Structure 1
Amino acid sequence: MDVDPRLYEQIAVNDTDVHNIIMSYLVHNCFKETVESFIACTGMKQPSDYLEDMEKRKRIYQFALEGNALKAIELTEQLATNLLEKNKDLHFDLLSLHFVELVCSRKCTEALEFAQMKLTPFGKEQKYVEKLEDFMALLAYEEPEKSPMFHLLSLEYRQHVAESLNRAILAHGNHPTYTAMERLIQQTTVVRQCLNQEHAKDGPLPFSLKDFLKS
């Protein structure tokens, strides 16, 4: 069974808490104009410490999403000194984005030279060897988009790297790496799973955000 909405719709929720949840989501995702409009409409106090870096984070995120990884790296080093030096996994992922862009542009010689200079040194650590092999294998295909490693060329992969970079920058500035909204959904999911396991058939179904939004 599922939880009847009538059982909780009378529970009062503080408007300030709701506003903070929304603000957290907007700031995390760099929706600066929407943040400013939301502040104007609700009268909330402007989170100046967040807003100062929001536009910079947005530019970095956009460059990574577009595959312009070298620019994203340059701006990241300006905003969060030593971040990539301390986070080798993220640094590798960003460099790999640039390699992929060179491959997609059919600049194979340049891609190979870049890989030898920037990516190959990572091969000294075993955990990067398989990744390196996957990226280098792209060079063997005239149409890398049709290779078994085509997912490395996808928008989804760039989004994954861009989001990881955004979270890392937030953590570097001692800001939450996940929005309050994400945490609420995660906690709700875990609670519903526990209740479902504890009460078996009589317990609530596992939480589904899609189903919840339809209710």
Structure 2
Amino acid sequence: MFPAGIHSNSYFGYLVVNDDDLHSVVLSYLVHNCYKETVESFTSCTEMKRPADCLEDMEKRKRIFRFALEGNALKAIELTQELAQDLLEKNPDLHFDLLSLHFVELICSRKCTEALEFAQSKLAPFGKVQKYVAKLEDFMALLAYEEPEKSPMFHLLSLEYRQHVTDSLNHAILENANLPSYSAMERLIQQATVVRQCLSQEQGKVMEC
């Protein structure tokens, strides 16, 4: 698989990577994650051409994600519908998750009556579909605890859950705009992980022989 006398781990040190390719990977990551100011600086320093309308698109996505991460999911939904009118209609799972963020925010603010009313009007209709039933039960169970942060469903209140929903929203918006839903860097890491796993398995087989 590798040239004679060269270990797989050191072989990659012989590979030459084009600077333009590296720049493209970095730019893809920055655009994907809405680092607008850094994109401007990076493209200026490297004399790269900015993707068409990328700065305006990043600013819109960045606003949406900021609202979602800060707990203002209803505003994030509103802006998402302005940016991509039928996106949430085509992605009910994502729509449910965003609505659940608002429900969780009401729970954390101890607005239990408002949370119950919101659940009945916005979340309950999802219960007609079997795959949402268990999720609904978990969210509704939060109402039973005076300190929901100490409940078995505490992970639904975490920043990690909010980040997960926000990442899913980012991927959906990019995909809806016919753009890569994952950055080139993410794909490279995924591919490198698979390659390393395959190499480890092959080396294990060789050692067994």
Which residue of the partner structure matches residue 52 of structure 1? 56
Partners of 1:3 and 1:32 lie apart in 2 by 38
- What whole-Å deviation, never above 9, does each CA across 1:106-131 have from its counterpart, x for those lacking one? 11100000000000000000000000
Residue 9 of structure 1 and its aligned partner are, at CA, apart by 2.4
The equivalences for 1:149-188 within 5 A come to 149-188=153-192
Question: Highest relative contact order (Cα 8 Å, sep 6+), 1 or 2?
Answer: 1
- Report the alpha carbon displacement of residue 14 of structure 1 after superposing the two structures with TM: 0.6
| CA deviation after TM superposition for structure 1 residue 199, in Å | 3.1
Structure 2 partner of 1:213: none
1:4 offset after TM fit, Å?
3.7
- How far did residue 202 of structure 1 move? 4.8
Task: Give the TM-score normalised by the residue count of structure 2.
Answer: 0.92
After TM superposition, the structure 1 = structure 2 runs for residues 72-91 of structure 1, keeping only pairs within 5 Å, are 72-91=76-95
Residue aligning to 2:139: 135
For 2:139, give the aligned amino acid: F
1:11 to partner: Cα distance: 2.2
* TM alignment of 1:1-215, pairs within 5 A: 3-5=8-10, 7-200=11-204, 202=206
Shift of 1:197: 1.8
Aligned partner letter, 2:109: S
4+ aligned runs moved over 6 Å, structure 1: none
**How far apart, in 2, do the equivalents of 1:45 and 1:72 lie?**
30
Q: Match for 1:75: what amino acid? A: L
Q: Which moved more, 1:193-202 or 1:108-117?
A: 193-202
Query: TM-score, structure 1 length as denominator?
Result: 0.90
Q: How much identity, in percent, do the aligned residues show?
A: 75
Alpha-carbon distance in 2 for matches of 1:193, 1:169: 32
Q: CA deviation at 1:58?
A: 0.4
Unaligned runs of 5+ in 2: 1-6
- Aligned-residue RMSD, C-alpha: 1.3
CA distance in 2 between partners of 1:10 and 1:127 (Å): 50
Q: Per-residue displacement from partner, 1:154-213 (whole Å, max 9, x unpaired)?
A: 00000000010011000000000111111111111111212222331658xxxxxxxxxx
Equivalent in the alignment of 2:3:
none
Distance 1:106 1:189 in 2: 43
